[in-house]
Chain A
Amino acid sequence: MDANSELRTPLSRARGLGSAKDGVNRFIAERVTAIALVPLSLWAVYAALQVATAGYEGAVALLHSPVNAVPAMLLIAVSCAHMKMGMQVIVEDYIHKPGAKIALLLISAAVCWLAGALGVFSILKVALSGVGA
C-alpha cells in the first residue's frame, strides 16, 4: 500500500520519526561536565605553573599528594568525557556522509578513551609508586 495513503492514521505516519527519547541526558551531561570543568580548568592552569618549575622529582612529588593526584585524574577524565561529546557535535554538524561520519566518531571516541585511560593510569602509577620524594 502507498505509504502516503489516506488510510494511514497521522499517528502511524509519525511513529518511528520522533526523538530517540535519550537526548535530554546528553544535553545534561554536556552541561554537568562543563560546570565541573570550571574549577578543574582553573586548577589546571595553577598546576601547570607549578609543574613548569618543578622538574621530574618535583612533578613526581606533586602527584604523590592526593590533593594534586585526584584533581589531575578528575581533570583528565571529565575533560575526555566533555571533549568526546563536543567533538561529536562538531562532526555531526559538518560531516554528512554516513561512512565518513561514523569513522570520525569512532576515531574520536577511541582517542578520548585512550587519552583518558592513559592519563589516569599514568597519574595513578606515579602517585602510588614509591619512587621519588
Chain B
Amino acid sequence: MGQAGTDGSRPKGPAPLSPHLQVWRWHITMAASILTRASGVALYVGVIIVAGWALALASGPDAYGDFMGLMGSWLGKLVLLGLTGSIFYHLAAGLRHLVFDTGRGFAPKTANASAVLCIVFAVVATALVWALAFAIGAV
C-alpha cells in the first residue's frame, strides 16, 4: 500500500509512524490533557469517599468517628489534598473544554496559555482552601 506522492513518485523509505516518545517533545497541552483524565479518575475515587462519608454518618456516631479518624490521619489528609487539587484542576479543565466545544481556543498560543492557567488556578485555589482550612481549625 505505498502511497504515491502528488508527482506520482513513491516516498523513499518506510512511511513515518505515529509520533514516538523518542522524537516527540513534551507539550504543556499534553500535560493538561493527561491531568484532566488523571484528576477525573482521582475524583471517581473521591465520590466513592463522599458516599462512604454519607454511609458512615447514616450508620451512627461510632462509624462516623472511625471514618473521620481515617480522613484525619496523615494519609487521609494527603488524599484530601490531592482531591482538592483534582476538583479545582478538573473544574478549570472542564470549562476549558467547554470553550473548545464552541470551536474556540485551539490556536497554539491560546491553548498553551489556557493549559498553564488551569494548572496555576488549581495550585492557587488548593493553597487558598487549605490555608482557610488551617485558619478555621479544620485540619
Q: Which positions in A face B, CB cutoff 8 Å?
A: 31, 34-35, 37-38, 41-42, 44-45, 48-49, 51-53, 56, 59-60, 63, 72, 75-76, 79-80, 83, 86-87, 90, 111, 115-116, 118-123, 125-126
Extra 14 A-B pairs, beta carbons < 8 Å, given A53-B137, A79-B43:
A38-B91, A38-B95, A44-B50, A49-B136, A51-B53, A52-B139, A56-B64, A63-B57, A83-B44, A87-B41, A122-B54, A123-B54, A123-B58, A126-B57
Smallest CB gap from B58: residue in A: A122
Given A53-B138, A76-B50, A79-B47, CB of A45 within 8 Å of CB of B87: yes
**Is B129 interfacial (CB-CB < 8 Å)?**
yes
Contacts of A87 in B (CB 8 A): 40-41, 44
Q: What secondary structure prevails in chain B residues at the interface with A?
A: helix
Q: Indicate which residue in B44, B51, B80, B138 contacts A122 across the interface (CB closer than 8 Å).
A: B51
By a CB distance below 8 angstroms, the chain A residues around B104 are: none
B94, A76: Cβ atoms closer than 8 Å:
no
Contacts A49-B136, A83-B40; A31 near B57 (Cβ below 8 A): no
Asked whether, in the complex, the Cβ of A125 is within 8 Å of the Cβ of B58, the reply is yes
Cα separation A111 to B55 with both chains bound (whole Å): 15
How far is A49 from B90 in the complex, measured between Cα atoms in Å? 19
Contacts of B53 in A (CB 8 A): 51
Closest A residue to B47 by CB, please name it: A79
Q: Once bound together, how far apart are the Cα atoms of A45 and B62, in whole Å?
A: 25
Measured in the bound complex, the distance between the Cα atoms of B65 and A56 in whole Å is 8
Identify 9 residue pairs between A and B in the complex whose beta-carbon atoms are under 8 Å apart, listed by A's number.
A31-B98, A34-B98, A75-B50, A76-B50, A80-B47, A83-B43, A83-B44, A83-B47, A115-B48
B132 contacts the other chain (CB 8 A): yes
Which single member of A35, A44, A126 contacts B98 (CB below 8 Å)?
A35
Contact (Cβ within 8 A) B136 A53: yes
Check: B61 CB closer than 8 A to any chain A CB: yes
- B48 to chain A: closest residue by CB: A115
* Complexed CA–CA distance, A34 and B57 (Å): 27
CB contacts (< 8 Å) of B55 on chain A: these are 118-119, 122
Q: Which of B83-107 contact A (CB under 8 A)?
A: 84, 87, 90-91, 94-95, 97-98, 101
